[in-house]
Amino acid sequence: EAGVAQSPRYKIIEKRQSVAFWCNPISGHATLYWYQQILGQGPKLLIQFQNNGVVDDSQLPKDRFSAERLKGVDSTLKIQPAKLEDSAVYLCASSLAVATDTQYFGPGTRLTVL
Amino acid sequence: DAKTTQPPSMDCAEGRAANLPCNHSTISGNEYVYWYRQIHSQGPQYIIHGLKNNETNEMASLIITEDRKSSTLILPHATLRDTAVYYCIVRVQGNTPLVFGKGTRLSVIA
């Protein structure tokens, strides 16, 4: 079974530029999460999707971050414009929408904002 | 905020058991204890979870105290590949996000 795929693995941009990350969850997983992990800290939820609907985006900085999950499969996370403090690893995770709710994580995208 | 407290770091000799403690004194009756780990440059990986009974799988054992205010993750024979940050998370079961603390950085030493 293929795992959660993310691309790119690394991205370096200058502040005020825009960037987009892509996630392909495990086939059949209805729930998709985006987490942000700043160096030295645990991951923090940005947004949760159930199929193509948003369940929780309360911690998403909506003035600069946006995310979508068209057709309930792949998802993209965008930052526009980026700030220095957005430097982090962006992790995508997916899970089946059932009681056994193990979350499977992708390898993440490491973003550096200069 | 995370509802758990873990030591920031631990060392373990290769081949010995690694015992990672976690305090969760405010755990509610319907909350489970989950453990994930994150190896360098990888995403977190599920290890095990439990409600009140001790649990064991191919990766580890989870021992939960009777009052459920603390637990211990046991890796019975640690290898160098077990070097990682281990996160103890308390949450209700279901499609809810994981709330991570800073975890315990386990270093397995040859």
> Could you tell me which residues of chain B have a Cβ less than 8 Å from any Cβ in chain A?
2, 41-46, 87, 93-103
Residues of A in contact with B43 (CB under 8 A): 4, 91, 93, 105-108
Which pLDDT does position B28 carry in this prediction?
92
Distances (CA, A) of A102 to A51, A75, A95, A112: 17, 19, 6, 29
CB contact at 8 A, A79 and A65: yes
Is B46 close to A55, i.e. CB distance below 8 A? no
The fraction of chain B above a pLDDT of 90, given in percent, is 89
Which pLDDT does position A46 carry in this prediction?
97
Give the number of A-B residue pairs with CB atoms closer than 8 Å.
53
- Measured between alpha carbons, how far is A76 from B22 in angstroms, rounded to an integer? 35
- Closest listed residue to residue A43, CA positions, set B39, B33, B96, B100: B100
Residue of B nearest to A91 (CA): B43
pLDDT in tens, B72-102: 999 999 999 999 999 999 998 877 889 999 9
pLDDT in tens, A68-97: 998 889 999 999 999 999 999 999 999 987
pLDDT in tens, B21-69: 999 999 999 999 999 999 999 999 999 999 998 999 999 999 999 999 9
Is A42 close to B45, i.e. CB distance below 8 A? no
Which pLDDT does position A65 carry in this prediction?
98
Chain B nearest-CA distance from A75, in A, is 17
- Measured between alpha carbons, how far is B110 from B102 in angstroms, rounded to an integer? 25
- Measured between alpha carbons, how far is A73 from B13 in angstroms, rounded to an integer? 43
Distances (CA, A) of B86 to A19, A30, A80, A82, B106: 30, 26, 33, 30, 7
Which residues neighbour A12 within 8 Å (Cβ) at sequence distance 6 or greater? A111, A112, A114
Which pLDDT does position B4 carry in this prediction?
96
Beta bridge partners of B86: B37, B104
Residues of chain A with pLDDT under 70: 1, 98-100
CA A59 to chain centroid: 12
